[in-house]
Structure formats: C-alpha cells, structure tokens
Structure 1
Amino acid sequence: MRVVVVGATGHIGSYLVPRLVRCGHEVVALSRGTREPYHATPEWSRVERVVVDRDAEDAAGTFGTTVAAMEPDVVVDLVCFTPESAGLLVEALRPVRPLLLHCGTIWVHGPVHRVPVTEDEPRTPVGDYGTGKAAIERLLHRETRSGGVPSVVLHPGHISGPGWPVITPAGNLDPGVWRALAQGTPLPLPDLGLGVLHHVHADDVAQAFERALARPAAIGSSFHVVAEQAMTSLGLAHEVAGWFGRDPVLDLVDWPEFESRVAGEYARQTREHVSRSISASIERARAVLGYTPRYTAQEALREALDWLVANGQVDLG
C-alpha cells in the first residue's frame, strides 16, 4: 500500500516508517522540517521525504488537499491536536476514502473510576490536550459510522525511548530525579508515591500502528497502546535506584511541601500525571490488533535513560 505518514520523523514515526518499508509498503514521510528521525535505519533511504508545514497549510486550508493529492491508501496522522485540523483533513480525504490511522492519547481519560480503564469508559478529559484528542476521536468515529473516511484511533501512554526526555518516576521531566535516584539523595514524592504512570516504548506504539493497517476489524474503534503493566511512582523509583545498586531515598510528602521543593513547571507536570493515574487495559489491542508489547515500562525507561546519559542530557554525578 501507499502510506503517507504525517509527523514521520517524530517519536513514533522514527520507528514506524522503517517497519512499513520492511513490510513492503510505499512510504511518503511528511515532516515539518528536515530533522533526521530519532532512530535512523537503512530503510529511510527507500522513503519519499516531503517537508510540509501543517500549521501554515491548515491556516490556508490546503493541508488536506496536499495529502489527498499524494493518492494514499493509508494516512497515518501522528501530529493532529485539534478537531478543526482533523476536520479539514477528513473533508479533503472523503472523496478518496483512504484508511486514516490517528494517534490519540490515554489522556482522553481523566481521573477514572475503574482500573485498568478500558476504551469503552466515558471520556472525562482534563486540560486542552486530552480534551482536544477526545473531540478528534468523536469526530473520526462519527465520520466512520456515517460511511465516510474509515479510521482507527490508537491511544498511547507516556511514550519513551532513546532520543528525547521521558517521564521520570516522579511523573515529570526533571533530570534531577534521575540524579537523586542514582546518587541516593532524597527524592520527594507526593501522594505516598502511589501515583500511577503507564509508559510505552515508541517502537511498541509503532508496532500497533503497523498492525492496524492490516486489521479491517479495527476500523471504527479505539485502542490503548501501553506497556503490559502500569507502575506507581514508588515502584519506578525502586526500579531505577536498583540499577545503581541502591534503594531509593524517598521523602513522601504532601502537595504543598512537594511544590515548595520542586521547580514550578516540574511540580505542575507531576500533578497532571498523578491526578490522572491512568492504568490502561490493552486487552482490545491484544485481541483485535494482535498487539504484544516487547518492552516493559522499566525496559523502556532504562533504554531512554541510557541514551540521555550517553548524550550528555542527564548528569548522574
């Protein structure tokens, strides 16, 4: 098939594009700039690379027609964040009706009542990101049910892997968390360290997208794409400290103290993650897509941290 991947050199696309090439698909890789993928492989030499500024073309009303003119059998949209943008793309694709695979997020769920949360739970998103993704999901399912563009929505967790900062055991992007766990210095955690994080390796997300191309039964549905098990901040802290042969030194504190000890942006990130504490079921993805994650949450974090240290982005002291 001819597959157009939008956001091809990002976290997911860096792994997905080579997978598609190995499957024999003709791949057109759209990206905003000329940056190389996070994970370079020989397969990229067999890919058509196209630079497209989606924001500018959306503003001009031309992005959808640009994609449609490429005559795709499948469009993989990894970087759509508003229902307005999704609507413009769908409208342009409707005459030719390629399969549309959209990247959502488990943050379409807010704080949940049942765990692990399934895809059938009512959507209760909190914040612009999750709210926008939930609106896109509704739009795409409505489009599919009405006989328009067929779509599949995949909801990843906290995407991890080598090449970019990832969510730490404290539920934020503070590099000092890694250093504290490596050195055995005190690490503050709120809510008794019981906030839940559900990571996933970028290659496992790519695996799910690859499988969705060949599963007609997936059309019209949403799927969680996460590691086999979620973990608490407490559990991840013990895991990471163990890599350095020590137990973590944890200060289990209330929110006011946590926020007094952690820089404002990092404290906000932690609160966003802990307030949701999403543990997502992958039973539907397993049954319909044949999705089988290769990486545990711990393995995804370990690979990410090794890269951050090797590339001077984290100083473990």
Structure 2
Amino acid sequence: MRVVVVGATGNIGSGLVDLLAADGHEVVGVARRPPTAGWARQQAEWHAIDVTSIDAVEELAAVMRGAEAVVHLVFGFQPSHDSRYLRQLDIGGTRASLDAAIVAGVPHFVDFSSLGAFSPRADDDPVDESYPTGGNTTLPYSRHKAAVERLLDGEEARGRIAIARMRPSLVGHRASGGSLLRYTYPVWVPTLVLRHLPVLPLDRGFRAQFVHIEDLADAVVRVLEQRATGAFNIAGDGEVRQPDIAAILGARPVHFPWRWLRGLAALSWALRLQAVDPGWLDLAAAAPRMSTERARRELGWSPRFDAAAAVTEALEGMMHGAGKDTPALRPRHWARELLDVLRRGPVSYRHVI
C-alpha cells in the first residue's frame, strides 16, 4: 500500500513511518524539513512542503496521486504566542491536505484528532467516540481540534472520501524527549535540573492517559489496512497520577492546586519565561477519560504498553534530552538551544522550531 504521511518527522509521524516501512508499505513522507541523512531518510520517499503555503494543495496533490491513503498529522502548539499562525497551520493545513487528497483521488483519509477535541468531562465515567467534541475554549490547540472535527463532519456528509479520525491520549516514547523539552521546558534551565528535582508541585487530583507510540502506530496501520472509518479513541491501559510522575522524576510530590498552578503558568507565559500556554492546564484538569473499546472490538487492537510505561519513556527521554535523526526530533543540547533563542527569539514566537 502506498501511504502519504503529512507531518512525517514529528513525535507520531516518525513512529508511524517506521512501522509502515517495516510492514512493507510504500511510504511517502511530507514535512517542512525532511531528514537529509540517517535511518529516517531511508524509510520513505521525502518531499518538503509547507501546508500553510499558498500552493500547498497543488503541491500535496502532486505527491498524493497514486496513493491508497493519506495520514494527516500536522498540528501545532508552538508558537504559542501566535494564535493566528497556529489556526492557519492547524485548520488551514488540514483543509489543504484533505482538499489535495480529494483532488488526487485518494480513497482514504486518516486525520489525527486527539483527546483535546473532547468537551470538558461531565463526570468520571469513560467516554466513547460519541462524546461531544466541543474542545476546551481556553486553549487554541483544543479549539482548533474541535474546528477540524466540524470540517471533517462536513466532508463526510459530502461523501467524496472515506475518513477516519484517530483520537489518541498523550503520546509517550523516549525519542520524543528532546522535542518535548524544546516545546515545554524553559530554555534557560539546563536539562540536568530535571534529573534532580527535589519536589513536584502538582495538583493531587492530576491524572492522565498515555499511549506508547508503537501502540498508536499499530492502531493507525490497522485502520489503514482495514480501510476503517469513523473515530477511534486510543490510549494505553491505566492512568498516570501525581505520585507516579514524582516517582519517575525522583521527586517528592507536593499538592499544588490547579488554580495556583494555572495562575503561575499564565504569569510566566505572559512574561515569556516559559512557552506553554496556560490553557493546557485547563485541558489537563477537565479532560474526560476515554474508553478504547471500539478500537479493541473493531480493529482487533490492544496496547502492549500501559500508560505508566509510556510516560516513563517520555520523561526519561526528557531527562536525557533524547531524540531521533529528524529535524523535529533532534536531541536537545542546552547551550545550543540557548544560543538559538538569543539569535532567533523564543519558540513561542518562531514558526520553525
């Protein structure tokens, strides 16, 4: 099967490309900055395309002709201080990729939605794929995910292409460590500090679902091979709570209420001391717990890694600045990153990070 992966060098895309290539599929990778060397370069046929460019639909359609499926992964949460660009990237980029697939006659389009598309939880019961996808209004990422869901609803009604929607929880694996540091960790703080945190200030009610990239990629391949349609919640077994995170970091958990944490995050974000939009804390506090029953029943999927294993890999990757041989997943080198910020400004303002 010839599969075009749009956004093929990031946290999810790189894992999916690896599995598709290992399974013998013909992979076409699309990214703003394709890999130029190393193992990643050998895994696919690569094309450099910016989905926000005026010629994106034409360029993407040329690459997609003859493909049996397209997987669209491009979505951003940096630069967090440029919501206009993020909207263009997230919603406009998805529209461009979808339009190009239709123009090229591709029969199957797989879009990556996420847990962030869901409306805030009503209670603690697990929710299935029919739960409302109104997003969290305080976070651009979540609002954009909800807007893309409406875009896909409209295209499904037209019936021009078969559409599947992946809704994963937080995704963890070791190679994502360097990129997570660039996106979320204050650049002026050495990575070494993360390995020696004395305390972890976090609300004692924190809990989160995680999925390992290998399990997520397996679910996507099953969707592609079965030409499945509709939405699929994907998460590893179990949840991760405050004491679990503290144990991995070797820190003592300290209860820090959501409202205090949110206030601190908002102030430090406004002062450009850190790059994470405080709306992410609103999402973390209100996200529903997903049921993965549909993926298990219809795809025959089940995770090999539980949530604890996935988050352990991600945090260990962050503590050591781990990465992979793609521009988006390059390992973090603190001094180099600091110099880059001094030359080009913080990641919360830069379009290419």
Shorter-chain TM-score bucket reads 0.7 to 0.9
1:73 to 68, 78, 98: 68
1:254 Cα offset (Å):
6.3
Whether 2:65 is the aligned partner of 1:54: answer no
Decide whether the 8 Å contact of 2:6 with 2:73 is kept in 1: yes
CA contact (8 A) 2:116 2:287 kept: no
Cα distance between partner residues in 2 of 1:150 and 1:288? 17
In 2, the alpha carbon distance for the partners of 1:158 and 1:139 equals 23
Quote the sequence identity (%).
26
* Counterpart residue identity of residue 186, structure 1: V
Distance 1:212 1:262 in 2: 39
The correspondence for 2:225, drawn from 214, 229, 238, is: 214
How many residues are treated as equivalent by the alignment?
A: 297
Superposed CA deviations along residues 211-260 of structure 1, whole A, max 9, x for unmatched, are 111223x21x111122212233x24235425xx4xx72414446237745
RMSD: 3.4
Say whether residues 1:108 and 2:117 are aligned partners: yes
| 2:301 corresponding residue in structure 1 | 291
Distance 1:228 1:106 in 2: 15
Q: Would you say the 8 A contact 2:202–2:261 is kept in 1? A: no
Q: Which runs of 5+ in 1 are unaligned?
A: none
Cα distance in 2, alignment partners of residues 254 and 307 from structure 1: 26
- For residues 74 and 254 of structure 1, what CA distance do their matches in structure 2 show? 42
Contact conserved, 2:72 with 2:111, CA < 8 A, in 1?
yes
Tell me, yes or no, if structure 1 residue 277 matches structure 2 residue 287.
yes
Match of 2:100 in 1: 92
**Which of 201, 204, 228 matches 1:188?**
201
Aligned counterpart for 1:163 among listed residues 175, 179, 187: 175
Structure 1 residues 112 and 17: CA distance shift in structure 2, 3 A: same
Tell me if structure 2 keeps the 8 A contact 1:65–1:92. yes
Structure 1 residues 309, 50: closer, same or farther in 2, change over 3 A? same
Unaligned runs of 5+ in 2: 76-88, 270-275, 323-331, 335-353
Counterpart CA distance in 1 for 2:17 and 2:225 is 15
Letter aligned with residue 94 of structure 1? I
Alpha-carbon separation, structure 1, partners of 2:128 and 2:219: 17
Q: Retained in 2: the 8 A contact 1:196–1:278?
A: no
CA distance in 1, matches of 2:287, 2:115: 10
> Which of the numbers 234, 249, 252 marks the counterpart of 1:248?
252
Please say if residues 118 and 135 of structure 2, whose CA atoms lie closer than 8 Å, have aligned partners that are also in contact: yes
SS at match of 1:214: helix
Q: Compute the displacement of 1:106 (Å).
A: 0.8
Mapped to 2, the partners of 1:99 and 1:226 lie a distance apart of: 23
Identify the residue that residue 149 of structure 1 maps to in structure 2. Answer: 161
Cα 1:268–1:82 change in 2 (3 A) is: closer
Structure number with the bigger relative contact order (C-alpha 8 A, sep ≥ 6) is 2
For 1:17, the equivalent position in structure 2 comes to: 17
Q: TM-score, normalised by structure 1?
A: 0.79
User: 2: CA distance between counterparts of 1:122 and 1:79?
Assistant: 23
Deviation readout 1:253-290 (Å, 9 max, x if unpaired): 46237745997235826623433233211111111122
Residues 113-162 of structure 1: per-residue CA shift (max 9 Å, x gap): 14312110112212322222222223324423432111101012212212
State the TM-score, normalizing by the size of structure 2. Answer: 0.72
Q: Is the 8 A contact 1:237 1:248 kept in 2?
A: no
Deviation per residue, 1:183-202 (Å, 9 max, x gap): 57233223xx1122222222
